[in-house]
């Protein structure tokens, strides 16, 4: 009898542990959030029976101007959820345009993620949930039933920076089974980003797979390095271990990265089947990455036939050093005289860098330096940068 009681007790304990494990696995909530409706409106839900207020913030909401250290910028307003039965709060949007969106909840003033949505992305030190709505442009961001490329996380030696550094490299569908040589796009992230940013936030592999499958882009290799010269890798993935990411890492825009960028080009051309000439090299980047693309392509004025500046920062910082930022106009003139196939500039109408980009356009106009220009709605946001990438890539090679 005692043995039977022991067995029953063990069963009860194991059952309890199993039940708790399952509750942990599913968040202990049977709530659908977000729920995407047939008309592409979305309902968000949050269980908080004891909360006094639950609010929602996301890049699908109307924006308002806020002051930041970088100047006045657009930020989404906060929408109030309505409390319903059993303490479930809810909010339904209007019909949303096709896009990849991010959002968070604010419960009694505390910002938090959606416990019913396990899909998250990190932008600098902020973690938010994501959802994908609709067709159209958003189809480029989906994993569709098309041939897929390969994404590798590699380490390369940078003699100039005196360290091994982590890099993300996309190779197109069929790369491993062919002997073909490919052109290369060097794709650079913004301040606070790293070698993960263009993949996680920019949906680069999905965009490339889909454009190539549609015949809108030529197969190419995409190299996405870490632009923070004080890091060997993204936070948590390098020798510094886990640390809070910061918006502007040391030495990030002082010329060191640009001066040593050819370490990245050399690694790529030594380790991948590439067409190693100017006509088959492109460089592009967003914000700080646009700054880097601008100065790298000018500092090495006979290296890249394609240049893309996405919401680019343009002027050197006060801590700039070395020779990279000397004789800027001379370098641009040399770049123009050497010739190139595409110089592409994209900026949002409400971007805090809009004025700086217009001033830079005037400089190019005065020099007689040809470029293509695209102006979109919105500000300094990933929604624009994904669009710019999908417009820029089909023009390459």
3-state SS record for 163-184: EEEEEEEEECCCCCCCCCCECE
The pLDDT value recorded for residue 108 is 97
pLDDT for 395 beyond 90: yes
3-state secondary structure of 355: helix
The pLDDT value recorded for residue 123 is 83
pLDDT for 18 beyond 50: no
pLDDT, average across residues 250-257: 84
pLDDT for 16 beyond 60: no
Q: In what order do the strands lie in the sheet with 35-36?
A: 35-36, 42-47, 88-92, 82-83
Cβ–Cβ < 8 Å for 295, 252: no
pLDDT for 392 beyond 70: yes
Cβ contacts of 310 within 8 Å, gap of 6 or more: 284, 285, 286, 287, 289, 290, 346, 384, 385, 388, 389, 392
The pLDDT value recorded for residue 94 is 96
Share of the chain above pLDDT 90, in %: 74
pLDDT for 102 beyond 70: yes
Domain with CATH 3.40.50.1820 in the chain: 143-395
Residues in the chain: 397
For residue 222, how many other CB atoms are within 10 A of its CB? Answer: 26
pLDDT, average across residues 111-123: 93
For residue 168, how many other CB atoms are within 10 A of its CB? Answer: 25
Q: What is the DSSP string of 311-340?
A: S---SPPTT--SSTTTTHHHHHHHHHHH--
pLDDT for 315 beyond 90: no
In CATH terms, is domain 143-395 a member of 3.40.50.1820? Answer: yes
pLDDT for 382 beyond 60: yes
Cβ–Cβ < 8 Å for 394, 364: no
pLDDT for 20 beyond 50: no
Give per-residue pLDDT as tens, 329-377: 999 999 999 999 999 999 999 999 999 999 999 999 999 999 999 999 9
Fold of 35-134: Immunoglobulin-like (2.60.40)
The pLDDT value recorded for residue 112 is 96
Cβ–Cβ < 8 Å for 165, 158: yes
**More confident: 15 or 31:** 31
Domain with CATH 2.60.40.10 in the chain: 35-134
* Confidence class for position 72, pLDDT limits 50, 70, 90: low
* Confidence class for position 75, pLDDT limits 50, 70, 90: confident
* Confidence class for position 198, pLDDT limits 50, 70, 90: very high
């Amino acid at each position: 009898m005692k043995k039977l009681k022991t067995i029953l007790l063990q069963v009860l304990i194991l059952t309890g542990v199993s039940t708790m494990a399952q509750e942990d696995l599913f968040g202990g909530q049977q709530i659908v959030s977000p729920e995407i409706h047939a008309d592409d409106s979305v309902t968000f839900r949050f269980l908080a029976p004891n909360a006094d207020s639950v609010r929602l913030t996301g890049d699908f909401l109307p924006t308002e101007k806020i002051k930041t250290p970088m100047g006045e910028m657009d930020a989404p307003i906060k929408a109030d959820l309505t409390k319903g039965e059993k303490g479930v709060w809810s909010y339904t949007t209007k019909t949303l345009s096709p896009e990849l969106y991010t959002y968070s909840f604010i419960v009694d003033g505390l910002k938090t993620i959606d416990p019913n949505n396990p899909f998250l992305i990190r932008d600098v030190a902020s973690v938010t949930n994501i959802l994908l709505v609709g067709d159209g442009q958003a189809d480029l961001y989906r994993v569709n039933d098309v041939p897929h490329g390969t994404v590798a996380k590699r380490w390369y030696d940078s003699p100039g920076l005196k360290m091994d550094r982590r890099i993300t490299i996309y190779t197109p569908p069929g790369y491993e089974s062919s002997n073909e040589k490919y052109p290369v796009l060097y794709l650079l992230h913004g301040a606070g980003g790293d070698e993960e940013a263009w993949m996680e936030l920019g949906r680069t592999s999905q965009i490339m797979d889909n454009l190539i499958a549609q015949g809108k882009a030529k197969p190419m290799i995409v190299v996405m390095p870490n632009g923070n010269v004080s890091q060997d890798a993204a936070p948590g993935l390098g020798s510094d271990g886990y640390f809070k990411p910061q918006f502007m890492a040391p030495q990030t825009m002082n010329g060191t990265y640009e001066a040593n960028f050819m370490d990245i080009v050399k690694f790529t051309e030594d380790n991948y089947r590439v067409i190693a000439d100017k006509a088959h090299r492109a460089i592009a980047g967003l914000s700080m990455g646009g700054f880097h693309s601008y100065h790298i392509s000018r500092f090495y004025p006979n290296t890249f036939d394609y240049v893309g500046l996405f919401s680019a920062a343009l002027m050197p910082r006060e801590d700039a050093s070395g020779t990279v930022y000397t004789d800027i106009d001379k370098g641009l003139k040399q770049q123009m005289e050497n010739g190139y196939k595409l110089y592409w500039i994209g900026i949002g109408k409400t971007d805090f860098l809009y004025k700086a980009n217009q001033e830079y356009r005037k400089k190019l106009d005065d020099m007689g330096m040809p470029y293509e220009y695209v102006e979109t709605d919105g500000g300094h946001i990933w929604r624009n940068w994904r669009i710019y990438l999908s417009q820029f890539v089909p023009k390459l090679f």
